[in-house]
């Protein structure tokens, strides 16, 4: 009896310790929605072929979702007269894109397997496909998330790292989500694709000293000291629509567009890893894929928590 009690206690302890992500599985919809991956890939292929930048926009949407109360599709909820969501928080207002692509995927998924697949899982798959379609590495996405019935504009304002962040702040904010400094550095490599608004890098190109002079001059041509806040510049000057390690090569050359980018290579703890990734594209792609799985495991709603939204923009 004593052995049985010990074994039961040990089993329960193991269950509680592992329960956070145990319900996520790469085969979660294998029987209930077997065409899910095909549908997501088809719509994402159309979207990226139409506008390559959309791969980066969907990836950013996933980041900003996961960093606010976990990967629960709360960022997709529209504001209403009685509901304040996250889309108008400072990091998102006027800059998040791709909601219509997620809507198109959801419509087709609902037509194939009604009331089965969460918007949170659709976003996770779409982010993966956006990277893959821009020549990044694919990965198996654990699934089984459910959708939040709530959102937090205040958390979005405080928990998403700002483009002005210092290295210590970045490490701390990622650590708060259960991600290591190494995870932070490799996930920042998502800035190998996409565009940034002038307002996010103006201070860097006019005030920072650890910046290549020619690069700063080039960026100033489209980002005046006043006005032009929405003017865009590629985060990766060389290959802004190809998922590769040029982002890290730019950092070594002091051509990081955002202050927070260049912080990764500024005589600090991440310099060696930046050099490694700058020299080894395959390792960057592999480490990025693994880190995306870890980020996708941030506080998922599973089991009977949350819901499966019929429309990603509003709760049922």
Asked if residue 315 is part of any domain, the answer here is no
218 is in an annotated binding site: no
Instruction: Judge if 148 and 276 occupy the same domain.
Output: no
| Spatial separation of the C-alpha atoms in residues 245 and 242, rounded to whole Å | 9
Instruction: Judge if 175 and 252 occupy the same domain.
Output: yes
Instruction: Judge if 95 and 207 occupy the same domain.
Output: no
Instruction: Judge if 138 and 236 occupy the same domain.
Output: no
Determine phi and psi for 289, rounding to 5 degrees: -60, -45
| Spatial separation of the C-alpha atoms in residues 24 and 121, rounded to whole Å | 10
Asked if residue 67 is part of any domain, the answer here is yes
For the segment 248-276, the average pLDDT, to the nearest whole number, is: 98
Residue 176: how many CB atoms within 10 A of its CB?
10
Chain segment 74-130, per-residue pLDDT in tens: 999 999 999 999 999 999 999 999 999 999 999 999 999 999 999 999 999 999 999
List the domain range (segments joined by +) for residue 149: 21-160
236 is in an annotated binding site: yes
Specify the length of the chain in residues.
Answer: 316
Work out the widest C-alpha separation in the chain, in whole angstroms.
78
Boundary-marking domain end, from 160, 194, 216: 160
68 is in an annotated binding site: yes
Asked if residue 305 is part of any domain, the answer here is no
Instruction: Judge if 172 and 106 occupy the same domain.
Output: no
Q: Grade residue 16 by pLDDT with cuts at 50, 70 and 90.
A: very low
161 is in an annotated binding site: yes
Q: What is the CATH number of the domain that holds 246?
A: 1.10.420.10
Instruction: Judge if 283 and 251 occupy the same domain.
Output: yes
- Please give the positions annotated as active site: 64
Asked if residue 308 is part of any domain, the answer here is no
Q: Grade residue 10 by pLDDT with cuts at 50, 70 and 90.
A: very low
Boundary-marking domain end, from 112, 143, 160: 160
Instruction: Judge if 134 and 199 occupy the same domain.
Output: no
What's residue 23's pLDDT? 83
Asked if residue 316 is part of any domain, the answer here is no
Instruction: Judge if 66 and 151 occupy the same domain.
Output: yes
| Spatial separation of the C-alpha atoms in residues 227 and 221, rounded to whole Å | 12
Asked if residue 231 is part of any domain, the answer here is yes
Chain segment 192-236, per-residue pLDDT in tens: 999 999 999 999 999 999 999 999 999 999 999 999 999 999 999
Q: What is the CATH number of the domain that holds 120?
A: 1.10.520.10
18 CB-contact burial (10 Å; exposed 0-12 / middle 13-18 / buried 19+): exposed
Instruction: Judge if 94 and 197 occupy the same domain.
Output: no
| Spatial separation of the C-alpha atoms in residues 58 and 282, rounded to whole Å | 23
Instruction: Judge if 156 and 215 occupy the same domain.
Output: no
Chain segment 149-196, per-residue pLDDT in tens: 999 999 999 999 999 999 999 999 999 999 999 999 999 999 999 999
| Spatial separation of the C-alpha atoms in residues 190 and 242, rounded to whole Å | 10
Instruction: Judge if 171 and 249 occupy the same domain.
Output: yes
Asked if residue 192 is part of any domain, the answer here is yes
Residue listed under structure tokens 């709603």: 301
Asked if residue 301 is part of any domain, the answer here is no
Q: Which residues pair with residue 197 across a beta bridge?
A: 232
74 is in an annotated binding site: yes
Boundary-marking domain end, from 160, 188, 210: 160
Instruction: Judge if 132 and 186 occupy the same domain.
Output: no
Mean pLDDT of the chain: 94
239 is in an annotated binding site: yes
Based on the structure, what is the number of domains in the chain?
2
129 is in an annotated binding site: no
């Amino acid at each position: 009896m004593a052995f049985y009690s010990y074994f039961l206690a040990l089993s329960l302890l193991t269950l509680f310790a592992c329960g956070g992500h145990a319900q996520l599985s790469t085969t979660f919809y294998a029987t209930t929605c077997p065409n899910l991956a095909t549908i997501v890939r088809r719509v994402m292929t159309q979207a990226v072929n139409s506008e390559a930048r959309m791969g980066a926009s969907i990836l950013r949407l996933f980041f900003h979702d996961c960093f606010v109360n976990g990967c629960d599709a709360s960022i997709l909820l529209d504001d209403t007269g009685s509901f304040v969501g996250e889309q108008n928080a400072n990091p998102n207002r006027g800059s998040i894109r791709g909601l219509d692509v997620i809507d198109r995927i959801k419509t087709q998924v609902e037509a194939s397997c009604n009331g089965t697949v969460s918007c949170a899982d659709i976003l996770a798959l779409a982010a993966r496909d956006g990277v893959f379609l821009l020549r990044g590495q694919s990965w198996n996405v654990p699934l089984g998330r459910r959708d939040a019935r709530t959102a937090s504009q205040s958390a979005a304002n405080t928990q998403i790292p700002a483009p002005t962040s210092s290295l210590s702040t970045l490490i701390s904010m990622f650590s708060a989500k259960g991600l290591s400094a190494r995870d932070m550095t490799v996930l920042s490599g998502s800035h190998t694709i996409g565009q940034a608004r002038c307002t996010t890098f103006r201070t860097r190109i006019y005030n920072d000293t650890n910046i290549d002079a020619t690069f700063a001059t080039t960026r100033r041509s489209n980002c005046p000291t006043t006005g032009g806040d929405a003017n865009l510049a590629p985060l990766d000057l060389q290959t802004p629509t190809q998922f590769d390690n040029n982002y890290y090569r730019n950092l070594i050359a002091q051509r990081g567009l955002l202050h927070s980018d260049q912080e990764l290579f500024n005589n600090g703890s991440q310099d060696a890893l930046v050099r490694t990734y700058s020299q080894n594209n395959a390792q960057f792609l592999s480490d990025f894929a693994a880190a995306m799985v870890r980020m996708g495991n941030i506080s998922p709603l599973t089991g009977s928590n949350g819901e499966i939204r019929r429309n990603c923009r509003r709760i049922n």
